[in-house]
Amino acid sequence: MAVRSLKITAPIALGLTAGLGYAASCPLPYAFATSADPTVLGRVVNVVIFTVPEVIIGGQIGPFVQARANPDKVKAGIAILFALVGILMLRTVVL
């Protein structure tokens, strides 16, 4: 509802999301490259592995699914997904 009250269209919101993801990941390769850590390449690859799917899923597949999915089922699915992620995070912390 916040997007509607600000009168931001879906393409602008998607572009902003992709831009923020890109901006957040840009300083990381520089920071890794200037460090003396021998695992620099692995860290940079790790950033790319998570950033590229974020942009593709969030910017391309997300609107396609949103236009065709039942909003109530999407809300329930996201709630289940968050609960699952929370359980997995607690499991890693406790064990």
What backbone phi and psi angles, to 5 degrees, belong to 77? -65, -40
Q: What pLDDT shows up at residue 70? A: 86
Q: Rounded distance, CA 84 to CA 81, Å? A: 5
Q: Rounded distance, CA 60 to CA 58, Å? A: 6
Tell me the domain boundaries of the chain: 2-69
Q: What is the pLDDT of residues 16-27, one digit of tens each?
A: 777 777 777 677
Q: What is the pLDDT of residues 74-87, one digit of tens each?
A: 888 888 989 998 89
Q: Which residues of 63-79 are buried (b: 16+ CB within 10 A; e: fewer)?
A: eeeeeeeeeeeeeeeee
Q: Rounded distance, CA 27 to CA 59, Å? A: 22
Q: What pLDDT shows up at residue 3? A: 53
